[in-house]
Structure 1
Amino acid sequence: PVQYADYTLWQRELLGDEDDSESVGASQVEFWRRELAEIPQELQLPFDRPRPAVASHAGDVVELAFDARMHRRVLSLARESGASAFMVMQAAVAALLSRLGAGEDIPIGSPVAGRLDEALDDLVGFFVNTLVLRTDVSGDPSFVELVERVREADLRAFGAQDVPFERLVEVLNPVRSMGRHPLFQVALAIQNAPVSELVMPGLEAEAGPGGTGAAKFDLSFNLAESFTGSGEPAGISGGIEFAT
């Protein structure tokens, strides 16, 4: 059976030597150099107090829920655009932030599962990577046009998802600050994997909210799609974590 050590060796072999211009690692790093050239160092959001010199990471959460009707509309728009529900929600977040004064170039961080092979589906281990998804809101596009822009940019990014985010920060070397996260300060995650039940002999277990009082970023939209037993959209819910 495949083990996590096998995955790590495979990843090193896949990326190869960055000094070799023909390697996957080198080509993906070069892609990100181009893709993230002149990225905003910091999104100008309408905070009600100044950013501290050193982030405290103190945070809170505002709960958010969209009903089944809205969920159906999101999926309908996604289908019409050849996109995903995630891409529609990303376009919505980018449009919102732009309207709030964050400009026309909106970088959003997002986790990717990293389980690109069926052999990894049931394997215990950390495969997640973080991508910087850049959204161009310039030129007053319609929302459908914005979804199309997001789709094109995201597909490019998904094709270069193997370079670890930490390595990307090292290579791109953005201006560092103890007060903000590098390359992006707003994150978006949508869980669409089926929810599994924890079954243990003699115990009944259910998942519940576990507020941490912490925030990794300025804003983090953490959402999950739910479906009925017959696969019909049942709503999108979650929360917006924010730095207090």
Structure 2
Amino acid sequence: YALWQEQLLGSTDQADSLIARQLDYWTEALKGLPEEMELPTDYPRPAATSHKGGTVQLQIDPVLHDRLTELARGNRASLFMVLQAALAVLFTRLGAGNDIPLGSPISGRNDDALDGLIGLFINTLVVRTDTSGNPGFEELLSRVRKVSLEAYEHQDVPFERLVEILNPVRSRARHPLFQIMLVLQNTPEASLKFPGLSSSLQLESVGTAKFDLTWELNERRNADGAPDGLEGIVEFSVDLFKRDTVEMLAARYVRILESVASEPSKPIGEIDILLPEERHDLANDWLAWSSSDPD
């Protein structure tokens, strides 16, 4: 595979080689990329990450899964693109700015000759989302679709080679080019069957975190192929986040998904990200203030 990939990509010294053309694309696509996303962390970023991590659970019920699938289909997008756009909305609304780069794994099997070959050929793409101008969610989804499709067309450059060529400012405190990863597992689940033995795949924490935050979701389908919910985890760096904070991030994310499924044209700046308990507390605070004696 390595020899085949080297022959496929060619040399950077040849202007018409595949790697030269794709590097030209990535150089332009990632021009001006922020060195670091301004995330709503609980702790200041340390000089060097410990890579210690934790996880919280994330669940999306079958009804919302079905509505998000229809939203994707109606906009000629994939479910992954909807999830990606919603994640960009979350961090823009939490103060991370309008330039949201997310890491995205891709199978690396874009040649039919690889179908029967055993091995892990996953590559990492950097998909940049522009949330500026307070677009409606469907407009944002159109932007995500365009950028994502372009990234897929230029997926052959190994991520480590891209980092080497772009040479961003290096730091032991953060991952280069992006700090948030989004993963959607939507291939049919493998099963192992022996007499008297049943098995299932479950995502569990091993106590580490490769990135500041990783959203990892598994898409479930029922026997007739209909959406049956999404389940997964949000992995987080304990150097930066408390568990309670990440639980609230996950809850806000689901709230955004519910909102865009109901009103996909609503400007992203108007999407309600308050949780019910926060709204209740704000209402009580306002009532207490309004009924207080002005003297």
TM-score range, shorter chain: over 0.9
* Partner SS state of residue 88, structure 1: helix
Structure 1 position 61, deviation (Å): 0.7
More helix by share: 2
| Structure 2 residue ranges without an equivalent (≥5) | 239-295
Instruction: Map residues 154-233 of structure 1 onto 2, 5 A cutoff.
Output: 154-199=148-193, 203-233=197-227
The alpha-carbon deviation at position 122 of structure 1 amounts to 3.4
Deviation at 1:114, TM superposition (A): 1.0
Question: Which stretch has the larger CA shift, 176-185 or 10-19?
Answer: 10-19
Matches within 5 A, 1:1-244: 7-199=1-193, 203-244=197-238
Aligned residue pairs, count? 238
Match of 2:237, as an amino acid? Answer: A
Per the TM alignment, residue 205 of structure 1 is displaced from its structure 2 partner at its CA by 3.3
Is the radius of gyration larger for structure 1 or structure 2? Answer: 2
119-128 or 135-144, which deviates more:
119-128
Question: Could you tell me the percent identity over the aligned residues?
Answer: 53
| Alpha-carbon separation, structure 2, partners of 1:237 and 1:223 | 5
CA RMSD, 1 decimal: 1.3
In structure 2, C-alpha distance between the alignment counterparts of 1:236 and 1:206, rounded to whole Å? 15
Deviations 1:117-173 (A, max 9, x none): 333233211210000000000000000001000000001110100000000000000
Letter in 2 for 1:159: E
The answer on whether the counterparts of 2:203 and 2:233 sit within 8 Å (CA) in structure 1 is no
1:133 alignment partner AA: V
1:180 maps to a residue whose letter is: R
TM-score by structure 1 length?
A: 0.94
What is the alpha-carbon distance in structure 1 between the residues aligned to residue 48 and residue 178 of structure 2?
A: 16
Amino acid at match of 1:236: L
Give the whole-Å Cα distance in 2 for the aligned partners of 1:186 and 1:197. 30
- List per-residue Cα deviations over 1:66-104 (Å, max 9, x = no partner): 111111111111111110000000000000011011100
